Amino acid sequence: MHSTDFIDKIVSIHIDRRLGSRHPQHGFFYPLNYGYVPETQATDGEEQGAYVLGVFKPLEQFEGRCIAVIHRLDDDDDKLVLVPDSVQYTDDQVLAQTAFQERFFKVVVIRN
């Protein structure tokens, strides 16, 4: 499954980096919940990663709508953007909330 196949679908993820946690290797702070879609394989060989926007407490699991994909032009690791159903964010809002990690890459936001 390609990352863009998730757009506009309800997706369940496991959160392995909760809001308020730190990256295990690089130490940066997670201002949002981040996780992965179990039993998937992204183009980088790992499980498909996903950001959760619009939820302001640490989570262990999340089910929400994929509104977009952050496509890294200089890396092989797209990220899904998930939100509670019926919540929307503009591309600029998506990029602002994920800048803590995505600022290190050249990215575009892909939508249907």
8-47 pLDDT tens trace: 999 999 999 999 999 988 888 999 999 999 999 888 889 9
Please give the pLDDT value at position 1: 78
Please give the pLDDT value at position 7: 97
Please give the pLDDT value at position 98: 97
Domain 3-110 has CATH 3.90.600.10: no
Please give the pLDDT value at position 43: 82
Give the C-alpha distances (Å, rounded to integers) separating 74 from 105, 107, 109. Answer: 6, 8, 14
Q: What is the pTM of this model?
A: 0.95
Going from N- to C-terminal start, the domains of the chain cover 3-110
